[in-house]
Amino acid sequence: MKNSFTIAEMSLAYNAGKVGYYESFGEWAKHAYPEQPTDEQILTHFGWECICQSPYELQHTDGSFASGQAAYYLLDGLKDEYKNEMDGY
């Protein structure tokens, strides 16, 4: 996330009414400039790990396994789930 904002950025956000929707400018900034986690960080967050890059294979701590296209589908689903968690859903 950006650590500082220009006066112009703050002014644009305020004038657009975006700051008022959030409790503070910092809250708005978290949504305006979210940090993008790596695929590895998302997998780890949900208990998965990549055990092979080619073919793409994932394994969960409970022993579940996904390979090939299924692993990519799983990763896409985890990304969506992670985004929902960060958005508070």
The per-residue pLDDT for range 7-48, each reduced to its tens digit, is 666 656 665 555 455 666 566 666 666 677 889 999 999 999
pLDDT of 1: 45
pLDDT band of residue 52 (cuts 50, 70, 90) is very high
SS3 label, residue 14: helix
pLDDT of res. 84: 85
Residues 27 and 10 in one domain: yes
Q: Which domain holds residue 7?
A: 1-35
Per the structure, how many domains does the chain have? 2
Are residues 61 and 24 located together in one domain of the fold? no
Are 30 and 44 in a shared domain? Answer: no
Tell me: do 15 and 44 sit in the same domain. no
> Around Cβ 35, how many Cβ atoms within 10 Å?
9
Residue 9's alpha-carbon distances to 22, 32, 36, 45, in angstroms, are 16, 11, 20, 32
Model-level pTM? Answer: 0.60
- Together in a domain, 62 and 23: no
Distance CA 15, CA 61 (A): 48
For position 10, what pLDDT does the model report? 61
**How deeply is 80 buried, as exposed, middle or buried, from its count of CB atoms within 10 A (0-12, 13-18, 19+)?**
exposed
